[in-house]
Structure 1
Amino acid sequence: MRKLIFLILLLPLSVFSQTVSKVVAITDGDTITVLLDGNIQKKLRLAEVDCPESGQPFGKNAKQFTSEQVFGKQISFIETDTDRYGRTIAKVYYDNEKYLSAEIIKAGLGWWYYHFSKDKSLGDLEQEAKLNKLGLWQDDNAVSPWEYRKMKRENIILE
Protein backbone atom coordinates (compact mmCIF):
# COMPACT_ATOMS: atom_id res chain seq x y z
CA MET A 1 0.00 0.00 0.00
CA ARG A 2 2.84 2.35 0.88
CA LYS A 3 4.46 1.79 -2.54
CA LEU A 4 1.16 2.54 -4.29
CA ILE A 5 0.75 5.83 -2.46
CA PHE A 6 4.39 6.71 -3.22
CA LEU A 7 3.91 5.98 -6.93
CA ILE A 8 0.68 7.99 -7.07
CA LEU A 9 2.47 10.95 -5.47
CA LEU A 10 5.35 10.71 -8.00
CA LEU A 11 3.13 10.37 -11.06
CA PRO A 12 2.34 14.08 -11.41
CA LEU A 13 6.05 14.93 -11.10
CA SER A 14 6.96 12.73 -14.07
CA VAL A 15 4.24 14.31 -16.19
CA PHE A 16 5.56 17.81 -15.47
CA SER A 17 9.20 16.89 -16.11
CA GLN A 18 8.52 15.64 -19.65
CA THR A 19 10.00 17.75 -22.42
CA VAL A 20 8.80 17.63 -26.02
CA SER A 21 11.28 18.34 -28.79
CA LYS A 22 12.40 17.35 -32.29
CA VAL A 23 15.25 14.88 -32.94
CA VAL A 24 17.83 16.58 -35.17
CA ALA A 25 20.77 14.15 -35.01
CA ILE A 26 21.62 10.53 -34.23
CA THR A 27 25.13 10.03 -32.86
CA ASP A 28 24.84 6.29 -32.41
CA GLY A 29 22.26 3.71 -31.36
CA ASP A 30 21.86 5.10 -27.87
CA THR A 31 22.65 8.81 -28.28
CA ILE A 32 20.47 11.42 -29.99
CA THR A 33 20.38 15.20 -30.22
CA VAL A 34 17.16 17.15 -29.81
CA LEU A 35 16.27 20.75 -30.57
CA LEU A 36 14.79 22.62 -27.62
CA ASP A 37 13.00 25.95 -27.57
CA GLY A 38 15.28 28.79 -28.62
CA ASN A 39 17.15 26.57 -31.11
CA ILE A 40 19.16 24.99 -28.30
CA GLN A 41 20.54 21.54 -29.05
CA LYS A 42 20.73 18.97 -26.30
CA LYS A 43 22.46 15.60 -26.49
CA LEU A 44 20.56 12.75 -24.85
CA ARG A 45 22.00 9.39 -23.85
CA LEU A 46 19.17 6.84 -23.82
CA ALA A 47 18.44 5.41 -20.38
CA GLU A 48 18.51 1.68 -19.64
CA VAL A 49 20.04 0.52 -22.94
CA ASP A 50 23.59 0.19 -24.23
CA CYS A 51 24.06 -0.26 -27.97
CA PRO A 52 27.11 -1.66 -29.74
CA GLU A 53 29.87 0.87 -30.33
CA SER A 54 30.45 2.03 -33.91
CA GLY A 55 33.45 -0.32 -34.23
CA GLN A 56 31.44 -3.31 -33.06
CA PRO A 57 29.28 -5.61 -35.15
CA PHE A 58 25.73 -4.20 -35.33
CA GLY A 59 26.84 -0.73 -34.19
CA LYS A 60 25.77 0.78 -37.52
CA ASN A 61 22.56 -1.27 -37.45
CA ALA A 62 21.68 0.12 -34.02
CA LYS A 63 22.31 3.68 -35.22
CA GLN A 64 20.17 3.07 -38.33
CA PHE A 65 17.34 1.59 -36.23
CA THR A 66 17.34 4.57 -33.86
CA SER A 67 17.37 6.93 -36.83
CA GLU A 68 14.43 5.16 -38.47
CA GLN A 69 12.47 5.33 -35.24
CA VAL A 70 12.96 8.96 -34.21
CA PHE A 71 15.02 11.13 -36.59
CA GLY A 72 13.07 14.25 -37.54
CA LYS A 73 10.20 13.32 -35.21
CA GLN A 74 8.73 14.99 -32.17
CA ILE A 75 9.61 12.98 -29.08
CA SER A 76 9.08 13.46 -25.38
CA PHE A 77 11.74 12.71 -22.83
CA ILE A 78 12.19 12.53 -19.10
CA GLU A 79 15.64 13.37 -17.76
CA THR A 80 16.88 10.78 -15.27
CA ASP A 81 20.55 11.64 -14.72
CA THR A 82 23.73 13.05 -16.27
CA ASP A 83 26.59 10.81 -17.43
CA ARG A 84 30.32 11.42 -16.96
CA TYR A 85 30.49 13.14 -20.36
CA GLY A 86 27.86 15.69 -19.38
CA ARG A 87 25.15 14.16 -21.55
CA THR A 88 21.65 14.05 -20.18
CA ILE A 89 20.44 10.51 -19.60
CA ALA A 90 16.80 10.34 -20.59
CA LYS A 91 13.86 8.05 -21.17
CA VAL A 92 12.69 8.84 -24.71
CA TYR A 93 9.14 8.25 -25.93
CA TYR A 94 7.76 8.55 -29.46
CA ASP A 95 4.82 7.46 -31.67
CA ASN A 96 2.10 7.27 -29.04
CA GLU A 97 4.40 6.64 -26.11
CA LYS A 98 6.65 3.86 -27.44
CA TYR A 99 9.70 3.66 -25.17
CA LEU A 100 12.75 3.90 -27.46
CA SER A 101 15.11 1.92 -25.22
CA ALA A 102 12.63 -0.98 -25.05
CA GLU A 103 12.17 -0.94 -28.83
CA ILE A 104 15.95 -1.12 -29.37
CA ILE A 105 16.29 -4.05 -26.98
CA LYS A 106 13.26 -5.79 -28.49
CA ALA A 107 14.83 -5.50 -31.97
CA GLY A 108 18.03 -7.12 -30.68
CA LEU A 109 20.13 -4.01 -31.25
CA GLY A 110 21.06 -3.18 -27.68
CA TRP A 111 21.67 -4.68 -24.28
CA TRP A 112 19.53 -4.02 -21.26
CA TYR A 113 21.90 -1.79 -19.24
CA TYR A 114 21.12 -3.62 -16.01
CA HIS A 115 23.95 -1.81 -14.17
CA PHE A 116 21.79 1.32 -14.30
CA SER A 117 18.25 -0.06 -14.59
CA LYS A 118 15.90 -1.93 -12.32
CA ASP A 119 13.27 -2.51 -15.04
CA LYS A 120 13.37 -6.30 -15.35
CA SER A 121 10.87 -6.20 -18.22
CA LEU A 122 13.76 -4.89 -20.35
CA GLY A 123 15.74 -7.98 -19.37
CA ASP A 124 12.78 -10.08 -20.51
CA LEU A 125 12.83 -8.29 -23.88
CA GLU A 126 16.54 -8.99 -24.18
CA GLN A 127 16.01 -12.69 -23.43
CA GLU A 128 13.26 -12.86 -26.05
CA ALA A 129 15.51 -11.21 -28.66
CA LYS A 130 18.29 -13.70 -27.76
CA LEU A 131 15.95 -16.67 -28.10
CA ASN A 132 14.81 -15.44 -31.51
CA LYS A 133 18.39 -14.56 -32.57
CA LEU A 134 17.36 -11.03 -33.51
CA GLY A 135 19.94 -8.44 -34.48
CA LEU A 136 23.20 -8.78 -32.61
CA TRP A 137 22.01 -12.01 -31.01
CA GLN A 138 22.71 -13.76 -34.31
CA ASP A 139 26.29 -13.74 -33.04
CA ASP A 140 26.69 -16.36 -30.28
CA ASN A 141 29.80 -14.49 -29.11
CA ALA A 142 28.35 -10.98 -28.99
CA VAL A 143 30.39 -8.72 -26.72
CA SER A 144 28.54 -6.16 -24.63
CA PRO A 145 29.55 -2.53 -25.22
CA TRP A 146 30.81 -2.15 -21.65
CA GLU A 147 33.10 -5.18 -22.12
CA TYR A 148 34.18 -3.87 -25.53
CA ARG A 149 35.05 -0.46 -24.03
CA LYS A 150 36.97 -2.18 -21.21
CA MET A 151 38.96 -4.26 -23.75
CA LYS A 152 39.74 -1.09 -25.73
CA ARG A 153 40.96 0.67 -22.57
CA GLU A 154 43.19 -2.31 -21.84
CA ASN A 155 44.41 -2.24 -25.48
CA ILE A 156 43.13 -5.73 -26.13
CA ILE A 157 41.34 -4.46 -29.25
CA LEU A 158 43.63 -2.91 -31.82
CA GLU A 159 42.10 -0.75 -34.53
Structure 2
Amino acid sequence: MSVSHKYTVLASVNLSIALLITSCSENKVSQCQRLIRVVNAGTSLIDKNKGTQVITSIQLSKDLEFVTKSIRELNLKDPKLKEFQSGFVKIFQNLSQAIAIAGKALGVTKTADASTSGREKIQKARAEIDSALTTATTLGKQSDTLVNQMNKYCSQPE
Protein backbone atom coordinates (compact mmCIF):
# COMPACT_ATOMS: atom_id res chain seq x y z
CA MET A 1 0.00 0.00 0.00
CA SER A 2 1.47 3.29 -1.03
CA VAL A 3 1.79 6.16 1.40
CA SER A 4 -0.69 8.38 -0.48
CA HIS A 5 -3.28 5.56 -0.68
CA LYS A 6 -2.83 4.93 3.06
CA TYR A 7 -3.61 8.60 3.80
CA THR A 8 -6.58 8.52 1.45
CA VAL A 9 -8.05 5.54 3.31
CA LEU A 10 -7.36 7.18 6.70
CA ALA A 11 -8.89 10.44 5.49
CA SER A 12 -11.99 8.55 4.33
CA VAL A 13 -12.27 6.73 7.66
CA ASN A 14 -11.77 9.97 9.60
CA LEU A 15 -14.35 11.74 7.44
CA SER A 16 -16.82 8.89 7.98
CA ILE A 17 -16.30 9.00 11.74
CA ALA A 18 -16.65 12.79 11.78
CA LEU A 19 -19.87 12.61 9.76
CA LEU A 20 -21.21 9.87 12.01
CA ILE A 21 -20.45 11.90 15.14
CA THR A 22 -21.87 15.05 13.57
CA SER A 23 -25.04 13.32 12.41
CA CYS A 24 -25.55 11.83 15.87
CA SER A 25 -25.11 15.18 17.56
CA GLU A 26 -27.37 16.88 15.01
CA ASN A 27 -30.01 14.25 15.53
CA LYS A 28 -31.13 15.71 18.86
CA VAL A 29 -30.70 19.24 17.57
CA SER A 30 -32.72 18.63 14.41
CA GLN A 31 -35.44 16.87 16.40
CA CYS A 32 -35.56 19.79 18.84
CA GLN A 33 -35.79 22.23 15.95
CA ARG A 34 -38.65 20.34 14.32
CA LEU A 35 -40.63 20.15 17.55
CA ILE A 36 -39.94 23.78 18.42
CA ARG A 37 -40.96 24.91 14.92
CA VAL A 38 -44.39 23.21 15.13
CA VAL A 39 -45.01 24.34 18.72
CA ASN A 40 -44.11 27.92 17.76
CA ALA A 41 -46.52 27.75 14.83
CA GLY A 42 -49.33 26.76 17.20
CA THR A 43 -48.40 29.39 19.74
CA SER A 44 -48.30 32.15 17.14
CA LEU A 45 -51.76 31.10 15.90
CA ILE A 46 -53.08 31.58 19.41
CA ASP A 47 -51.32 34.91 19.89
CA LYS A 48 -52.57 36.18 16.53
CA ASN A 49 -56.19 35.21 17.23
CA LYS A 50 -56.61 36.24 20.89
CA GLY A 51 -59.96 37.84 21.57
CA THR A 52 -61.38 37.08 18.14
CA GLN A 53 -64.96 36.47 17.11
CA VAL A 54 -66.92 33.24 16.80
CA ILE A 55 -65.94 32.23 13.26
CA THR A 56 -62.28 32.96 13.92
CA SER A 57 -62.40 31.04 17.20
CA ILE A 58 -63.87 27.99 15.51
CA GLN A 59 -61.25 28.24 12.74
CA LEU A 60 -58.51 28.62 15.37
CA SER A 61 -59.78 25.45 17.03
CA LYS A 62 -59.52 23.61 13.70
CA ASP A 63 -56.05 25.06 13.08
CA LEU A 64 -54.94 23.88 16.51
CA GLU A 65 -56.27 20.40 15.70
CA PHE A 66 -53.96 20.48 12.68
CA VAL A 67 -51.05 21.62 14.88
CA THR A 68 -51.84 18.78 17.29
CA LYS A 69 -51.79 16.31 14.40
CA SER A 70 -48.51 17.78 13.12
CA ILE A 71 -46.88 17.46 16.53
CA ARG A 72 -48.19 13.90 16.92
CA GLU A 73 -46.78 12.91 13.52
CA LEU A 74 -43.24 14.17 14.17
CA ASN A 75 -41.02 11.14 13.96
CA LEU A 76 -38.92 11.82 17.05
CA LYS A 77 -36.48 9.21 18.28
CA ASP A 78 -35.11 10.94 21.38
CA PRO A 79 -37.04 9.56 24.41
CA LYS A 80 -37.08 12.89 26.27
CA LEU A 81 -38.30 14.74 23.18
CA LYS A 82 -41.05 12.12 22.81
CA GLU A 83 -42.17 13.07 26.34
CA PHE A 84 -42.26 16.74 25.36
CA GLN A 85 -44.09 15.81 22.16
CA SER A 86 -46.74 13.93 24.12
CA GLY A 87 -47.16 16.86 26.51
CA PHE A 88 -47.61 19.34 23.66
CA VAL A 89 -50.11 17.04 21.91
CA LYS A 90 -52.25 17.02 25.07
CA ILE A 91 -51.92 20.78 25.55
CA PHE A 92 -52.84 21.73 21.98
CA GLN A 93 -55.61 19.14 21.83
CA ASN A 94 -57.19 20.43 25.05
CA LEU A 95 -56.68 24.03 23.97
CA SER A 96 -58.38 23.33 20.65
CA GLN A 97 -61.35 21.84 22.50
CA ALA A 98 -61.56 24.74 24.97
CA ILE A 99 -61.47 27.30 22.15
CA ALA A 100 -64.16 25.37 20.24
CA ILE A 101 -66.40 25.37 23.32
CA ALA A 102 -65.82 29.09 23.88
CA GLY A 103 -66.46 29.84 20.19
CA LYS A 104 -69.72 27.93 20.18
CA ALA A 105 -70.80 29.53 23.45
CA LEU A 106 -69.97 32.95 22.06
CA GLY A 107 -72.15 32.11 19.06
CA VAL A 108 -75.03 31.25 21.40
CA THR A 109 -74.76 34.65 23.09
CA LYS A 110 -74.95 36.36 19.68
CA THR A 111 -78.12 34.54 18.65
CA ALA A 112 -80.00 34.40 21.97
CA ASP A 113 -83.26 36.27 21.96
CA ALA A 114 -84.40 38.76 24.58
CA SER A 115 -86.46 36.37 26.67
CA THR A 116 -86.11 34.38 29.85
CA SER A 117 -84.86 31.33 27.94
CA GLY A 118 -82.51 33.59 25.97
CA ARG A 119 -81.03 35.01 29.18
CA GLU A 120 -80.61 31.48 30.52
CA LYS A 121 -78.78 30.50 27.34
CA ILE A 122 -76.52 33.54 27.72
CA GLN A 123 -75.77 32.72 31.37
CA LYS A 124 -74.95 29.11 30.45
CA ALA A 125 -72.79 30.31 27.57
CA ARG A 126 -70.93 32.77 29.82
CA ALA A 127 -70.21 29.95 32.27
CA GLU A 128 -68.87 27.83 29.40
CA ILE A 129 -66.73 30.72 28.17
CA ASP A 130 -65.38 31.36 31.68
CA SER A 131 -64.59 27.67 32.08
CA ALA A 132 -62.87 27.57 28.69
CA LEU A 133 -60.82 30.66 29.57
CA THR A 134 -59.76 29.09 32.87
CA THR A 135 -58.79 25.92 31.02
CA ALA A 136 -56.87 27.94 28.42
CA THR A 137 -55.03 29.87 31.14
CA THR A 138 -54.04 26.64 32.88
CA LEU A 139 -52.93 25.09 29.59
CA GLY A 140 -50.93 28.22 28.77
CA LYS A 141 -49.04 27.90 32.05
CA GLN A 142 -48.43 24.19 31.39
CA SER A 143 -47.19 25.03 27.90
CA ASP A 144 -44.83 27.70 29.25
CA THR A 145 -43.39 25.21 31.74
CA LEU A 146 -43.00 22.55 29.05
CA VAL A 147 -41.37 25.04 26.66
CA ASN A 148 -38.87 26.05 29.35
CA GLN A 149 -38.04 22.40 30.12
CA MET A 150 -37.68 21.59 26.42
CA ASN A 151 -35.48 24.62 25.78
CA LYS A 152 -33.27 23.65 28.70
CA TYR A 153 -33.01 20.07 27.43
CA CYS A 154 -32.41 21.10 23.83
CA SER A 155 -29.64 23.52 24.83
CA GLN A 156 -27.72 20.80 26.71
CA PRO A 157 -24.85 19.22 24.81
CA GLU A 158 -25.29 15.59 23.92
Q: TM-score, normalised to structure 2's length?
A: 0.28
* Structure with the higher fraction of residues in helix conformation: 2
Q: TM-score, normalised to structure 1's length?
A: 0.28
* Structure with the higher fraction of residues in strand conformation: 1
